[in-house]
Structure 1
Amino acid sequence: MRVKHALHELRLLFGIERNTTNHGEKFISALGACLGILAVYWGTRWSFPDGFMHTAGTLIMVTSMGATAVLLFAVPQGALSQPWAVIGGHMLSAFVGVSCHQLFPDQTWTAALAVGLAVGVMHYSRCMHPPGGATALAAVIGGAEIYRLEYWYLVFPILINVVSIMVMAIVFNAFFSWRRYPAHLVRRKISKPAVASERQFELTQEDFSAAMEQLNSYVDITSENLTQLLELAKQHAEKNITHPEQIIAGHFYSNGKLGNLWSVRQVVDAADNAIASKDQVIYKVVAGDGGYATGICLRSEFQRWARYEVKPQANGHWKKLTDED
């Protein structure tokens, strides 16, 4: 028993996840990565059959495309694999790498500076893509052939490589409904939720957003992090499970659902009417399901729909308002 426990702790320490994918999914990932790299090679070769500028035609792709292939074809639904992460991650990192080499050539610390700055830029640009670090590094240590390109390095080979592998990712993954790329194109069936009265509380979209901020790490995500995230979300859900008593014009309200069912409405007009059948609310959907649609309903119907009031945050998330707010 002690040995089994020790092995379990060792697995957790090294971050060895139990792989739940079947053999078919593993084969699809491997085949996709193979086709992705072929697309990069032939896409770049076809675009510039005689090389580019002063290159001899031998510079076809950067090695960071291998890591991108892993993400696009093995983890196509991951946050690090989405289009802006791939495009922005590579292009911005390439710019950082070339700039560092231009400003600080032949310095032992230039490569480290390029990778560090690339990570920072990707963080602030919301396009975190690990292979971008290798793209920045290649601009500094890639040798004379890359140095001669200067900022054209962003076009050849980076942009051509990125476009080629992304086109293949879109086309290849389109054949498999559960892994279409980008992730926004995937529409999973949502099972009917349990009756609200049977639950002590119900997790909501805003709870997960708040929990992710509280976790304070870039999530892509391990089972341990997901468990911690779920626990934090539960704590947020327990704070407020009542419907709003007042519906106020100009304020925002959420239905508290998850995934594609989540929605936020802003009340446009909510003038009180003594006659219940005429006490109506005009609203517009500002986020989530039915985005930017407008509607009108009875105040009582809107109160039943609304779980709680929310307010927009600068980072694009929505925060659930509590009594303290």
Structure 2
Amino acid sequence: MQNSWISRLLPAATNTRPSEWGRAAIGVSLGTLLCVWICSQLFGTPVAIHLIGPLGASAILLFAVPSGALAQPWSIVGGYLCAALVSMCIVHFFGRNLDSACLAAGLALIIMCLLRCLHPPAGALALLVVLADPASARLGWGILAPVMLSAVCMLLVALAYNNLTRVRYPKITAQAPPAVVTPHIPGEAGITAEDLQKAMEQMDAFIDVTPEDLEALVRTSEHYARRRSIREVFAENP
């Protein structure tokens, strides 16, 4: 029991090559640098520095895990917009204090879930908009301008860089044919993306993967399983 609990604390194995780490790292650096530079030119360095934390976190998602549901265009644009609007409403009614900031982050999460634009860095953005530095606080509702400019800029850099480095972005939902997890038995239905979607909903948890990705993973696993089975048959019958 104790060993099982400890094993859950250990990091999971990564399935990406070091070359992909380098590709993503360059994208994160370039995306963050460009966004902060543009923001500083238009709104001043203090405002740009104030927003650099959420931008860096967004860059990790958009360049390192561009196929994730939380890294898609609507997630970053909608997430930043929700966080900024909710935070400014909280500031209007409750002022700028730690309690208000925490309330803004929680409410922003609910709105993002309702609008299907969950983006974790937007939670940090909600905190920062409430607990703004003097330069950002003076902008008032005008803080929406640098926030949305930064979100759109990061998205444009991700669109350009990911596709130029042969990583398809944004994620395109493909209608894949039904996949079968186990050897097909006549009269028995295979697993489809719709089945996986229902299973994910039943789990009642945030899962950063699409049913189509899961279906593709199942199909690829079946392919390798069939190849392994064929090799085992030939090995047993030389």
Shift in Å, 1:198: 6.9
Correspondence for 1:176: 165
Shift in Å, 1:44: 2.2
Among 110, 128, 146, which residue is 1:138 paired with?
A: 128
Distance in 1 (CA, whole Å) between partners of 2:114 and 2:144 is: 20
Instruction: Tell me the alpha carbon deviations over residues 105-126 of structure 1, each in whole angstroms, 9 at most, x when there is no partner.
Output: 1444111111111111111111
Among 21, 29, 50, which residue is 2:24 paired with?
A: 29
Correspondence for 1:312: none
Alignment of 1:7-86 (within 5 A): 9-12=5-8, 14=9, 16-46=11-41, 48=42, 51=43, 56-61=44-49, 62=51, 63-86=53-76
Structure 1's 10 and 195: CA in aligned 2 closer, same or farther, altered over 3 A? Answer: closer
SS at structure 2 position matched to 1:220 = coil
* 2:109 matches 1:119: yes
The answer to whether the 8 Å contact 2:96/2:131 transfers is: no
Among 125, 128, 134, which residue is 2:118 paired with?
A: 128
When Rg is computed on C-alpha atoms for both structures, the one with the higher figure is 1
Structure 1's 45 and 107: CA in aligned 2 closer, same or farther, altered over 3 A? Answer: closer
Which amino acid letter does the alignment assign opposite residue 205 of structure 1?
A
Percent of matched pairs sharing the same residue: 30
Structure 1's 163 and 110: CA in aligned 2 closer, same or farther, altered over 3 A? Answer: same
Correspondence for 1:317: none
Correspondence for 2:194: 206
Distance in 2 (CA, whole Å) between partners of 1:32 and 1:115 is: 27
Shift in Å, 1:142: 1.7
Correspondence for 2:220: none
Which deviates further from its counterpart, 124-133 or 139-148?
Answer: 139-148
Among 143, 148, 155, which residue is 2:145 paired with?
A: 155
Distance in 2 (CA, whole Å) between partners of 1:92 and 1:112 is: 15
| Number of equivalences | 210
TM normalised by structure 2 equals 0.77
Correspondence for 1:104: 94
Shift in Å, 1:95: 0.9
Shift in Å, 1:214: 0.6
SS at structure 2 position matched to 1:60 = helix
Structure 1's 66 and 108: CA in aligned 2 closer, same or farther, altered over 3 A? Answer: closer
Distance in 1 (CA, whole Å) between partners of 2:23 and 2:175 is: 19
Alignment of 1:274-313 (within 5 A): none
Among 137, 155, 169, which residue is 1:166 paired with?
A: 155
Which amino acid letter does the alignment assign opposite residue 143 of structure 1?
D
Structure 1's 126 and 15: CA in aligned 2 closer, same or farther, altered over 3 A? Answer: farther
Residue ranges of structure 1 left out of the alignment (5+ in a row): 231-257, 260-325
Distance in 2 (CA, whole Å) between partners of 1:127 and 1:211 is: 21
TM normalised by structure 1 equals 0.58
Shift in Å, 1:131: 0.5
CA RMSD of aligned residues (A): 3.0
The answer to whether the 8 Å contact 2:40/2:46 transfers is: no
Distance in 2 (CA, whole Å) between partners of 1:110 and 1:45 is: 27
Structure 1's 43 and 107: CA in aligned 2 closer, same or farther, altered over 3 A? Answer: closer
The answer to whether the 8 Å contact 2:88/2:130 transfers is: yes
Structure 1's 28 and 122: CA in aligned 2 closer, same or farther, altered over 3 A? Answer: same
The answer to whether the 8 Å contact 2:69/2:208 transfers is: yes
Shift in Å, 1:184: 1.2
Structure 1's 147 and 218: CA in aligned 2 closer, same or farther, altered over 3 A? Answer: same
